Amino acid sequence: MFTLFFMSMIIIIIAMIVMYLASLLSKKSLNDREKMSPFECGFDPMNSSRLPFSIRFFLITIIFLIFDVEIALILPMIMIFKVSNIMCWSYTSTIFILILLIGLIHEWNQGALNWSN
């Protein structure tokens, strides 16, 4: 019991030393106005360097990533069709596709798939 406590204290002390050294040796960044502004050949910027970001583009990107991962998960299901139990495979595939369809219907009802706006 004592050795477990002793080892955990040593691990905690080593971790604290490493965190302290990392913060001591890390690059310091000063939030200077000149360093935070964009570089345009020494001139002041003509307009704002921070452009507004379209949230619709972001949502479409997230939906694409979700369905991209879906394809990566469905392909191995097709490959193991012959070697697995047919009932287990059918149940798992049906539940997986049902969850994806419910998500798609939800996105459709929320209007995330409308490009007209």
Q: Is the pTM of this model over 0.95?
A: no
Q: Which of 73, 70, 61, 56 shows the shortest CA–CA distance to 100?
A: 70
Under a CB-based contact definition with an 8 Å cutoff, are residues 63 and 112 in contact?
yes
Per residue in 57-96, pLDDT (tens digit) is: 777 788 888 888 888 888 888 888 888 888 988 898 899 8
- CA 109 remoteness from chain centre: 24
> Domain residue spans in the chain?
55-110
Look at 6-15, 40-49, 75-84 and tell me which has the smallest mean pLDDT. Answer: 40-49
**H/E element holding 9?**
helix 2-25
> Higher pLDDT residue, 53 or 61?
61
pLDDT score of 16 more than 90: yes
- Nearby residues of 74 by Cβ (< 8 Å), 6 or more positions away: 96
